[in-house]
Amino acid sequence: MRHAITAACCLAVLLVFSATSAKAQAGNLTVLDTLETPAANRLAQWIIVLNSGDAERWKAYADRDVNPTADSAESAQQRFGAFQMLHAEIGGATPLVVEESEPYRCRAILQAHNPMAPDEFFAFGITVDSTPPHQTLRLSMMPARDPNLEIPEGPLNPEQIAELIDTYVRQQAADDRFSGAVLLAKDGNVIYESAFGEASKRYHVANKIDTKFNLGSMNKMFTGVAVCQLAEQGKLKFTDTVGDFLPEYPNEQVRTSVTIHQLLTHTSGLDSYWEEIFDTKYWKIRTVQEIADLFAEKPLLFAPGERFRYSNSGPIVLGLIIEAITGQSYYEYIREHVTGPAGMINTDCYAIDHPVENLAIGYTHMNYDGQPVRDQWFNNLFHHSVMGGPAGGGYSTVGDLLRFHRALADNTLLSPAYTDTLLAGKVDMGEDMQYAYLFSDRNNNGHRVVGHNGGAPGISAILRMYRDDGYTVAVLANYDRSAGQVARFVEDLIVR
């Protein structure tokens, strides 16, 4: 079975645990060995269990975490599922550097073992109770930069920033770790832009600044804008249910209980549809309705509004609602009301079996059985759908993403009030990060950053819009996971 890397892990993973009954056995985890604290011991134990790759061991660990007075068998099952998902994505982890060590809190930078992981480095934190047996209260996981990188201290002028970015990305490309385009702008003015690698390895066609790259999940931002436009026009309310616009929707619980707000914030209980799309003749699926038909009758994973779970199905339902309200196809509406007004002439959902000028082929280390192969590239044409849509899979350029930021900043697409509604965080995703209406909303040392990531085999994409500082960072890559490290390096240069 072909797999797409879960975009939720590109944004954040937040897992809440209850008590662990036994003292951790740290094992040979060098950077943690000398930290004889409850938090470091718990973190070491968690890494050992994860790295074992043993489903029975994961289940036993999750079951031991159950506190009969405050927990349930269902939450233990959720923790077991978290082990499964995380191991599938990162393949295990090695701690490199301890960033924070207190008796009851520890945070370390981990390196993922899987070359297909959405990000190579993660900041992993654990918080435990201060009283024995030091109950595990929270585990948090966020992408991080390579701890071996040296970042200059003190203020940097634009020329210095551009030179540092160019040196770093050229080395990444020389090491065959990056292929794509990078743009940094301030208040709409470009400070740095360049392209690296090849759009086609077969014909040795170089990537260019205006090469179109797959956005992965970043199309969700356009869907969020479209829904807020309809709300601003009074054509929907965020409290409306799916059935208010899709009275024939097959799943009664979705139809009567799931709201627009929940679809926009991944709190609807809807799952995703990757397994279903590759279990069918996926090359024939080219409309929003055809995607929706894959999952429309699937039961919800939890009661609407109960919690956050990243879902590709929710934006698809929003796409159907946009079509029902406007009488246009989703694609027509986005071209006419979002990308068109923003001047994004190189952004669209293209059918990949049609010739498209200046479009990059994605390259992945994942074979078609879903297994990583470190020393071989595969093109990704059979790893994703033929046609993108409301949840992702469209194409754009770094220049068009800058135009999108400008259109949001100058209120071309929405009024100031509705732009704020669109971008304001609403659901907690972890430390200093929330999910807004199909945008992430993050605080980095007092600097507010909104945007979205996209990731799948051969697809790695990031747009970061710095609301208070005026910076735009756009990184689009046709290699696995390579945009993240570049975007974090750039952020370290501009957020001082």
Same domain, 139 and 163: no
User: Of 113, 143, 173, which closes a domain?
Assistant: 143
User: Of 99, 114, 143, which closes a domain?
Assistant: 143
Same domain, 194 and 339: yes
First to last CA, the chain: 44
3-state DSSP call for residue 404? helix
Highest mean pLDDT among 42-46, 324-328, 385-389: 324-328
Same domain, 39 and 80: yes
The pLDDT of residue 15 is 36
CATH number assigned to the domain comprising residue 80: 3.10.450
Q: Name, in order, each residue with C-beta under 8 angstroms of 51's C-beta and a sequence gap of 6 or more.
A: 92, 93, 113
Same domain, 44 and 168: no
Same domain, 74 and 103: yes
pLDDT of 469 > 90? The answer is yes
pLDDT of 18 > 50? The answer is no
Same domain, 55 and 90: yes
The pLDDT of residue 108 is 93
Tell whether 388 is covered by a domain.
yes
The pLDDT of residue 27 is 38
Least confident of 294-308, 358-372, 445-459: 358-372
Pair 89, 9: CB distance under 8 Å:
yes
Pair 491, 473: CB distance under 8 Å:
yes
Tell whether 301 is covered by a domain.
no
Pair 361, 326: CB distance under 8 Å:
no
Residues 33-75: tens digit of each pLDDT: 678 899 998 888 888 988 998 888 888 877 766 554 455 566 6
- Distance of alpha carbon 120 from alpha carbon 147, whole angstroms: 11
How many of the other CB atoms lie within 10 Å of CB of 21? Answer: 10
Same domain, 353 and 208: yes
Same domain, 390 and 455: yes
Instruction: Produce one character per residue of 410-440: b if its CB has 16 or more CB atoms within 10 Å, e if not.
Output: eeebbeeebbebbbebbbebbbbbbbbbbbb
Same domain, 182 and 113: no
Tell whether 128 is covered by a domain.
yes
Residues 107-122: tens digit of each pLDDT: 999 999 886 676 788 8
Pair 392, 290: CB distance under 8 Å:
no
The number of distinct structural domains making up the chain is: 2
- Distance of alpha carbon 191 from alpha carbon 206, whole angstroms: 22
Mean pLDDT of 27-33: 62
Q: Using alpha carbons only, what angle is made at residue 92 by residues 277 and 177, rounded to the nearest 5 degrees?
A: 75
Range of the domain at 65: 8-143
- Distance of alpha carbon 413 from alpha carbon 420, whole angstroms: 12
Same domain, 181 and 116: no
- Distance of alpha carbon 205 from alpha carbon 211, whole angstroms: 11
| Reported confidence tier of residue 87, pLDDT bands at 50, 70, 90 | confident
User: Of 119, 143, 167, which closes a domain?
Assistant: 143
- Distance of alpha carbon 139 from alpha carbon 63, whole angstroms: 17
Tell whether 181 is covered by a domain.
yes
Catalogue the long-range contacts made by 26-30 (C-beta closer than 8 Å, 24 or more residues apart).
Answer: 29/94, 29/95, 30/95
Query: Which helix (H) or strand (E) element contains residue 220?
Result: helix 219-232
The pLDDT of residue 75 is 67
Residues 242-283: tens digit of each pLDDT: 999 999 999 999 999 999 999 999 999 998 876 655 556 666
- Distance of alpha carbon 224 from alpha carbon 438, whole angstroms: 5
Its pTM surpasses 0.75: yes
Same domain, 382 and 420: yes
Same domain, 27 and 162: no
Tell whether 303 is covered by a domain.
no
CATH number assigned to the domain comprising residue 484: 3.40.710.10
Instruction: Produce one character per residue of 251-270: b if its CB has 16 or more CB atoms within 10 Å, e if not.
Output: beebbebbbbbbbbbbbbbb
Tell whether 362 is covered by a domain.
yes
Give the whole-number percent of the chain exceeding pLDDT 90: 60
Tell whether 78 is covered by a domain.
yes
3-state DSSP call for residue 19? coil
Pair 188, 402: CB distance under 8 Å:
yes
| Reported confidence tier of residue 13, pLDDT bands at 50, 70, 90 | very low
Mean pLDDT of all residues in the chain? 87
How many of the other CB atoms lie within 10 Å of CB of 214? Answer: 29
Tell whether 457 is covered by a domain.
yes
- Distance of alpha carbon 180 from alpha carbon 158, whole angstroms: 22
